[in-house]
């Protein structure tokens, strides 16, 4: 499977194909979250942050794998069905917070275990909210350290962005990181399927009426 260097190179190539759209998606997402948080003192932000993350992650995931996602899909994939996307993300936030109460390290470890949850919620429309967290934990077993190192590999870019008051982050670093993370999801999902850690049926369960 792809190395970290290969993953980042693929992310760069995908970003170049839809550069301005990727920049716009990330900018609008952050702007909405900031505006809602400011207007409601952070209370209503809980109702939009999770679905927006799901929608944005779906956008970058589709773009990484050669799709042609539209700007509108950030909202349709993030908010439809709203209850499932919101519920899955709220469960994720809650569990990470509860683990963080046991000191910082357990919370950080769990945040890596649950890192694939928003991608699963956007990629697999029939997976239930809590099942998305369980699948993420299984997919990330043995790969939490690899994701941590992937994050560390962007430290130089983050430091450089700080010298531009965040402008470089908006115009390049942020979309680059999100595209790379989307590729990482594709990697761990493929490996989990190949190793029978998860099954295709779990990612596409029958719809319950």
pLDDT at 209: 38
96 contact partners, CB below 8 Å, separation of at least 6? 107, 110, 111, 114
For 42-46, 179-183, 187-191, which range has the lowest pLDDT when averaged over its residues? 42-46
| pLDDT over 70 (residue 208) | no
CA of residue 26 relative to chain centroid, distance: 12
**What tens digit of pLDDT does each residue of 20-67 get?**
999 999 999 999 988 988 887 777 788 999 999 999 999 999 999 998
Sequence-separated (6 or more) residues with CB below 8 Å from residue 183 = 2, 7, 10, 11, 14, 64
Residue 62 has which token pair? 């589709």
Tell me the pLDDT tens digit for each residue of 138-168.
999 999 999 999 999 999 999 999 999 889 9
């Amino acid at each position: 499977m792809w190395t970290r260097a290969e993953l980042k190179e693929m992310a760069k190539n995908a970003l170049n194909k839809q550069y301005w759209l990727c920049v716009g998606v990330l900018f609008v997402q952050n702007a909405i979250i900031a505006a809602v948080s400011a207007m409601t003192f952070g209370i209503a932000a809980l109702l939009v942050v999770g679905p927006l993350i799901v929608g944005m992650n779906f956008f970058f995931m589709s773009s990484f794998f050669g799709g042609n996602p539209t700007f509108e899909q950030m909202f349709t994939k993030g908010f439809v069905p709203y209850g499932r996307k919101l519920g899955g993300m709220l469960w994720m936030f809650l569990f990470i917070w509860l683990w963080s109460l046991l000191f910082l390290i357990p919370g950080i470890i769990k945040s890596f275990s649950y890192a694939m949850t928003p991608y699963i919620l956007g990629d697999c429309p029939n997976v239930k909210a809590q099942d998305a967290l369980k699948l993420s934990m299984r997919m990330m077993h043995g790969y939490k350290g690899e994701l941590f190192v992937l994050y560390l590999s962007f430290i130089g870019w983050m430091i450089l962005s700080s010298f531009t008051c965040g402008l470089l982050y908006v115009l390049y670093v942020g979309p680059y990181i999100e595209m790379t993370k989307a590729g990482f999801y594709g990697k761990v999902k493929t490996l989990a399927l190949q190793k029978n850690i998860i099954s295709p049926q779990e990612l596409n369960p029958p719809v319950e009426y």
